[in-house]
Amino acid sequence: MNKVVFTSLTLAAAGLTIAAACGANSKSVDLIPATPGTGTSAAPLTGKAAFGDYTTDAPGTRRRITAADLPAPFATTSTDNGPQGTARPEGALPKVPEGFTASLFANNLDNPRKIITAPNGDIFVASSNPGQIQVLRDSDGDGKPEVNQTFATGLNKPFGLAFYPAGANPQWLYVGNTDSIVRIPYRSGDLSTSAKPELITDNISGGGQLRGGGHWTRDVAFSNDGKKMYVSVGSFTNVNQEKLGIEAERALIWEFTPDGKDRRIFAAGIRNPVGLAVDPRTGTLWTSVNERDGLGDDLVPDYITSVKDGGFYGWPWYYMGKNEDPRKAGERPDLRDKVLVPDVLLQPHYASLCLTFYNANAFPKEYQGGIFAAQHGSWNRAKRTGYKVVFVPVDGKGKAKGEFVDFATGMVADDKNVWGRPVGVTVARDGALLFSDDSSGSIWRVAYTGKRR
C-alpha cells in the first residue's frame, strides 16, 4: 500500500495544512435474564444481501461488504430520517447470541458515552453533556455496581478516556475534551478527585455538532510502548462543501507525545474517526469511522480499520479507494491512486462509534483478540440501520477478515422509535462485555453463560 508523505503543499491543496506535522445511584438495578439471540448464518451475507436494515438484524448474522458492492451515487434519494427516542418496553433486552446473557448493569445515567475499565475493575464513564466523569464499582462481582460516584466535573464535552501509563498502577486519567486533551491525577481505587485537570494540549480543533455542523468527539489512545498519544478529530462539514479553513486541521488522527509535544499528522482523509483502540498484541492503531452522508441509502460505508502511518483514506474527494465523490468531481485527481481501502466496510449510516479489543478469555475462543464496536444508528437512511453492537473477527496476526457479525441487536422498537443507541464498549474485569446506551442512559452487560468451547 502507498504511504502518503504529507507536504505542506499537498495538505494546503487538500484543505489539510500541517502544523508540526467514543446520574442516579445504580445499585437498585436488578439483573434481568435475557432471551438468547437467534438467526446465525453459516456464511456471510454478501453483495446486495449484506445491505439490510434493522428488520434483518439478528445475533450471529455475518456480513461482508466490499468496494465492488457499492451502488452508484444517488441511486436512492438521500433522506433525513432521525430516530425518535422512546422508553424501553417492559422486559425488553438486547438480543445476544445463544450461550450469552444480557442484563442491565446500570441505568439512570446522564448521557453515558465512552466507557473504559480501570486496572482495579472500576468502570469509568464519560458523561459528555454534563461535562463529568462517573465511576461505577461492582465490589461483589454480582454484575451490578454498588457505587456510582462522580470522579471529575467541569469538563468540556468529555469523550475520550485513557489511563496512563499502562499496567496495574497508572498515574493519570487522560480525557479528550472537545477542544483539548487534559489529564487528571489517578491512583488505583480513586473514586473522586479534587485536582484541577492539567492541560496537555489545546492544539486541536474543537467544537461542532452533527447534522452538518461538525463532529465534536475527541478520542485518545496510547501506543503499547507508551511513547505516542493518538487523538482523533472529525471533520467540521459533511464533504467540505463550504471550503472552510477550519477543515485544515480536522478529519485527521494526530500523533503527540504523552506530554502533548511533537504534534504530527498520523493519518488523514478520515471523515470522523470517532473511536480509537490499539491492538494489545500487535500495537497497531485501529479506528471506527463515520463516513459521509447525502449520496443515498447505501453510500458511503462506515468502516473499522487498522490505520497506516501516513495513510490517506479519501475524504472528502474519494471513498473506499478510487470512488470519487461526485460533489468533488475533478478537484484532486492526483490523490485518486493514494486512497487506502479500509479493512472492514460496515453498512452505510451505522454511525460507528467506540471500539475495543476483546482481551479476556471468558468468551469462546472465536471472540478472543477480536473487536467489538458500537453502532449508534442511522439518520440518513429510509430504513434504519445500526443501533447495535457488532463483532469484527481478527486473526492471530492482527488482520481483520473483512466481515462483521451482529452481536447485540433488538434496540429498534419500530420504523420510527428506538430505545437503545450504543456508544461505548469495554471489557469488564470478569470478561463480560459492557456497552453504554445514551438513549436510555444505561450500561448493558453481556456475559457468556453457555458451555465452554
For the chain, give the percent of residues with pLDDT over 90: 83
Q: Which three cell numbers stand for residue 148?
A: 456510582
pLDDT the model gives residue 451: 87
pTM to 2 decimal places: 0.91
Q: Name the architecture of domain 22-448.
A: 6 Propeller (2.120)
Dist CA 180 CA 202 (whole Å): 4
- DSSP 8-state secondary structure symbol assigned to residue 45: B
For the cut 90, the answer to whether the pLDDT of residue 25 exceeds it is no
Q: What is the mean pLDDT of the chain?
A: 90
For the cut 60, the answer to whether the pLDDT of residue 34 exceeds it is no
Q: How are beta strands 273-278 and 285-289 bridged, if at all?
A: antiparallel
Give residue-wise pLDDT tens across range 72-104.
999 999 999 889 999 999 999 999 999 999 999
Give residue-wise pLDDT tens across range 214-266.
699 999 999 999 999 999 999 998 998 666 677 889 999 999 999 999 999 99
pLDDT the model gives residue 241: 64
pLDDT the model gives residue 63: 98
Phi, psi for 248 (deg, rounded to 5): -55, -30
Burial 166-202 (b: 16+ CB within 10 A, else e): beeebebbbbbbbebbbbbebeeebeebeeebeebbe
Nearest to 121 by CA among 441, 426, 445: 426
Please tell me the number of Cα atoms within 13 Å of 437 on its side-chain side: 33
Contacts of 201 (CB under 8 A, 6+ apart): 180, 181, 231, 256, 260, 263
Average pLDDT over residues 388-395: 98
Q: How are beta strands 311-312 and 264-268 bridged, if at all?
A: parallel
For the cut 50, the answer to whether the pLDDT of residue 267 exceeds it is yes
Dihedral of alpha carbons 124, 127, 132, 136, sign? negative
Nearest to 104 by CA among 91, 116, 117: 91
- Check: CB of residue 189 under 8 Å from CB of residue 196: no
> How do the domains of the chain map onto residue ranges?
22-448
Local confidence band at 31 (pLDDT 50, 70, 90 cut-offs): very low
Lowest-pLDDT range, 159-173, 242-256, 357-371? 242-256
Peptide bond into 348 cis (omega under 30): no
Distances (CA, A) of 4 to 7, 77, 89, 311, 312: 9, 34, 50, 6, 6
Give residue-wise pLDDT tens across range 347-357.
999 999 999 99
